Amino acid sequence: MLEGRTDRGAVPHPDVHTYDEVNRDVLRALETPGKAWWALLAVAAAGVVLFFGAWGWQLYKGIGVSGLNSPVGWGVYITTFVFWVGIAHSGTLISAILFLFRAPWRQSIYRAAEAMTVFAVMTAGLFPLIHVGRLWHAYWLIPYPNSRFLWPNFKSPLVWDVFAITTYFTVSATFFYLGAIPDIAAARDRATGLRKKFYQVISLGWRGTDSQWHHFGKAYIFLAALAAPLVLSVHSVVSWDFAMTIVPGWHATIFAPYFVAGAIFSGVAMVITLVVPIRKIFGLEAYLTTKHFDAMAKLCLLTSLIVLYAYLSEFFLAWYSGEEIERTAFWNRLVGDYWWATWTMLTCNGFVPIMLWFRRIRHSIPALFVISIFINIGMWFERYVIVVTSLHHEYEPFAWGIYRPSLTEMALLLGSFCWFGFWFLLFTRLLPPIAIAELKEVLPAPTRKKTGEAY
């Protein structure tokens, strides 16, 4: 009954010894904001103002302030929507799928990754609302009994998307909050004053009793088991927004796995981008070691190869099909009006990550930070290429046209990063950024009898 658990000590945190140390180090992040944090928050808040200002301007003037027009009716908004949904994916991947596979390096990263997921879906969810223009009609997407008994068309991928995204937001937010409850209780037990009141309420009276842990453990496994296929389904559904049409460049069966791999790729890169400053600002070097970054870099490398393979097979199949329109569409991507976007995508997502083959690069945190930013840029351009180059050059030559994003669209794109960053910054100050309880599970348990009986 007392046999040792093999996952104990699988990832050594050589500089962390006792449970008290974990509480002290992680909860310290909630106490000292520092100048860097306030400066970042000020920038993010300014960006949030810009974001809602630009959206308000579009609502006031109409959708004409964007560059969207025939033939390119989907532009920066849909690109950014897909980008943020993609970012959201690796959070649940790290928290749910790696949990089910017992990957021992996830503990110190997954809280931040899950927070990223929740905020990224919150950001992504705004873009369809921005894109529809007439915001006040957005509720038509929801099936509700109306006076004419009209229902949404459940054969439409856009309605699938509504269901997928709302489910994803609900489940990932629930999963995030549930996992955080024991750590909020830990924060409550050390906090004073108003903060204590706040944590008392949101920890829901967690005491860490045997029965609470027992049910919690089981509930967590089931939520992870439900979230794992959900991750794969959500970006598949997003890809079907494109693949279910007959637009050349969109109508491809490869889209679902191609989008899922791309989503995980961009998401892991974003985790690296976010975790590097957290580690620095809050002094969590002992918890986020090169081993963790190495594992994330390998995941990036793997998904980068899958994505590159998908690019190449798309080009190959366009040529191999012998279908003239399909061939033209892909040739147009490489050398057409948007060649710069395609080459940015290929460089950032296919070629730059080749550096991750080298251990020295994987172990250098500044190098990983720079590469992760390249990947973020590349993955935004991937969606831009898919959305815009396919639409601007469809079947009929008289219906070809050029799309240029307007200033309003650029403001909303920039503002979306600030909106996301704003929530993420608040998270780092309000919730323990590293999973305290789960980290303790991988530390060796303190025992009185040093008899070698494995605990």
Partner 1 sequence: MGNTTGLLASYEYLDSTVDAIKALKKAGFETVKAYSPYPEHHIEDALGYGQSPVRVWTLVGGLTGTATGFALTIWTSIDWPLVVGGKPIVSIPAYIIIAFEMTILFGALATIIGLFVLSRLPSIKPTVVYDPEFSSGRYGVYVEGNHQSLEEARQIMNEQQPIELREGELDD
Site for partner 1 in 181-220 (CB under 8 A): 181-182, 185-186, 188-190, 200-201, 204-219
Cβ proximity to partner 1: between 76 and 171 the closer is 171
149's CB contacts (< 8 A; 6+ apart) are none
Q: How far is the CB of 449 from partner 1 (least distance, A)?
A: 6
By the rule CB under 8 A, 102 interacts with partner 1? no
Q: How far is the CB of 438 from partner 1 (least distance, A)?
A: 7
Q: How far is the CB of 244 from partner 1 (least distance, A)?
A: 9
Q: Which of 114, 382, 394, 438 contacts partner 1 by CB under 8 A?
A: 438
Q: How far is the CB of 226 from partner 1 (least distance, A)?
A: 5
By the rule CB under 8 A, 6 interacts with partner 1? no
Q: Which of 1, 14, 246, 452 contacts partner 1 by CB under 8 A?
A: 1
Cβ proximity to partner 1: between 68 and 187 the closer is 187
By the rule CB under 8 A, 437 interacts with partner 1? yes
> Could you please report the per-residue DSSP string of 407-451?
HHHHHHHHHHHHHHHHHHHHHHHHS-SS-HHHHHHHSPPP-SS-S
> Could you please report the per-residue DSSP string of 29-93?
TTT--HHHHHHHHHHHHHHHHHHHHHHHHHHHH-GGGSS--SS--S-HHHHHHHHHHHHHHHHHI
364's CB contacts (< 8 A; 6+ apart) are none
By the rule CB under 8 A, 121 interacts with partner 1? no
Q: Per CB under 8 A, which region of 177-185, 265-273, 330-338, 404-412 contacts partner 1? A: 177-185
Token pair recorded at residue 370: 């720079």
**Largest Cα–Cα distance of the chain, in whole Å?**
83
What number of CA atoms fall less than 13 Å from residue 182's CA on the CB side? Answer: 22
By the rule CB under 8 A, 160 interacts with partner 1? yes
Q: How far is the CB of 133 from partner 1 (least distance, A)?
A: 23
Q: How far is the CB of 214 from partner 1 (least distance, A)?
A: 5
Site string for partner 1, 233-262 (x = CB under 8 A): x---x-------------------------
By the rule CB under 8 A, 455 interacts with partner 1? yes
Distance CA 384, CA 413 (A): 12
> Could you please report the per-residue DSSP string of 270-304?
HHHHHHHHHHHHTT-TTTS-HHHHHHHHHHHHHHH
Residues 140-159 close enough to bind partner 1 by CB under 8 A: 143, 149-156, 159
Distance CA 268, CA 36 (A): 24
